[in-house]
Amino acid sequence: MKKLLAIILFATSSIAYGDDFSYMETNTFASSGNYTFGFREYANKDVSHRILRYDFGDSPYRVEYRYVQKGELHEHWYRLQRKWFKVNGFWYNHRFEHRGRESKSNVFRYRPQFGYKSNAEFLGGVPFITFEPQWNYNYDSHDKGYSHLQTFTGIEYKVNNKFKVVPYIEVDFDKAFQKEVAFFIMDFKWKM
């Protein structure tokens, strides 16, 4: 399975070209108990996120609030997640989201995530691939249906018991499964 994941990692990355990477995303998360605080910033893009999560103990549920600033505009995102299963590295999460937006109509999204995270190391870390299809409902126009697909392919590096570094590539596909955008992401995860 490790070899198959490595092939998928390199194949997914090869879909993107040098001119795709016009910006980079950086996520920083600090967890203490059931709470996680996070920041998302972009290089070469005027967007930032402030994130607050709460995981309900041993239950499969998580709630999240995001304050998103896009230039002078502000958005409030509310998300509910339920972990469905995790078996032999394969996993699936249900995720529902409401976005309150200043510049556009508010939207409701179902954006499940599923993928595979290896149990074995590769290139010094743990490789993974995640798929996130999204279905939208627009409150004003009542348009609904499949929106797009996000894919995430990377490797998680455990620096120590309290700190992880996760470089990966996001490639997004439109309704016709044509590539829209690709960019690098770097996550920094601390346990307090």
Q: pLDDT per residue over 54-75, tens digit each?
A: 999 889 999 999 999 999 999 9
Q: pLDDT per residue over 89-139, tens digit each?
A: 999 999 999 999 998 899 999 999 999 998 888 889 999 999 999 999 999
Number of domains in the chain: 1
Lowest mean pLDDT across 11-20, 82-91, 141-150: 11-20
Contacts of residue 173, defined as CB under 8 A and 6 or more positions apart, other chains included, come to 148, 149, 150, 151, 179, 180
Owning domain of residue 14: 2-191
CATH of the domain at 50: 2.40.160.40
Q: Is the pTM of this model over 0.85?
A: yes
